[in-house]
Structure 1
Amino acid sequence: MAGETDLDALLQTLKPALVDGVFVFATVDAVPDGLVPRMVFREAEGVTLILLREEAETLGLPYEFPSRMITLDVHSSLEAVGFMARISTALAAKNMGVNPVAGFYHDHLFVPENRADDAMDVLHNIAAGRA
């Protein structure tokens, strides 16, 4: 099933959903046995993990960027043009950093833990055509 590529349609049908838990970013040489992180990305310098803060603390992993995950509940195409640019620009206008991750079906945003409500407001305004 192909995702949506039309920017206006993506923005108008955008339904942000705040995911439970606080997520963090960690880097390791290999994924610890038994751990099922939200994301694994292999880079030349090491393996990046996005996982729940409690999991990182239980394993004694140093981590950065305590964040909340927002799933953009619209099936965006991996080839959609301008969708993430529009969202990240609106968040930047509110002085908010964002770490986006594209999945096959949805895009996911990791925003600073204490700015989740602000980010949700921005996203709702985008969907309503007010931003």
Structure 2
Amino acid sequence: MGEPVSDREAMIAAMEPRLDQHHWRFVLVSPDNAPQLLGAAIGTFREDEGVTAIVPSEVADELGIEGPDFARITLMVHSDLEGVGLTAAVAGALADAGVACNIVAAFHHDHAFVPATKGNEALTILRALQ
């Protein structure tokens, strides 16, 4: 996969955003739903108030957990976790267009979660930014 990219302009130029065809939901994990949610989660985060999991919307529906659905756009550039500016550029471009965005950074890529109904619009915006 090569070395991580840390230069702001290089990260933006190489981000190659890809829209995931699945929809995702941010949900709270409780003892009664933990096995199903954690087994299906693509990401989790522990806060003082509890554990959040990002799960396929279908899994949340099966468990009766309501909430907004999100599209995931993966930035294919192998961004350095200490790189500066990619998150701000992505979030800023989407904010300027009135698109909400939740960014999750993983080891190799950053992932932008936008309202499911705005997935294609957000992808177009990020391709233009690139």
Taking structure 1 as the reference length, the TM-score comes to: 0.90
Q: CA deviation at 1:111?
A: 0.3
Question: Which string of whole-angstrom CA distances, capped at 9 and with x for unpartnered residues, describes residues 63-117 of structure 1?
Answer: 4231100100000000011111011111000011100000000000100011111
| 2:22 matches 1:21 | yes
After the TM superposition, which residues 104-115 of structure 1 pair with which residues of structure 2 at under 5 Å, given as runs?
Answer: 104-115=107-118
Match of 1:54 among 47, 52, 58: 58
Q: Tell me the secondary structure at the aligned position of residue 19 of structure 1.
A: strand
Letter in 2 for 1:28: V
2:94 alignment partner, SS class = helix
Structure 1, 1-10 or 15-24: larger mean CA deviation: 1-10
- Contact 2:40/2:56 (CA < 8 Å) preserved in 1? no
> Whole-Å Cα distance in 1 between the matches of residues 116 and 104 of structure 2?
16
- Structure 1, unmatched stretches of 5+, are none
CA distance in 2, matches of 1:51, 1:20: 14
Does 2:62 align with 1:72? no
TM-score by length of 2: 0.90
Matched, 1:96 2:96: no
How far apart are the structure 2 equivalents of 1:66 and 1:105?
A: 24
Question: Do structure 1's residue 125 and structure 2's residue 128 form an aligned pair?
Answer: yes
Equivalent residue of 2:22, what SS? coil
Q: Select which of 33, 46, 50 maps to 2:35.
A: 33
Tell me the matched-pair count.
126
In terms of fraction of residues, the more helix-rich structure is 2
Does the aligned pair in 2 maintain the 1:25–1:63 contact within 8 Å? no
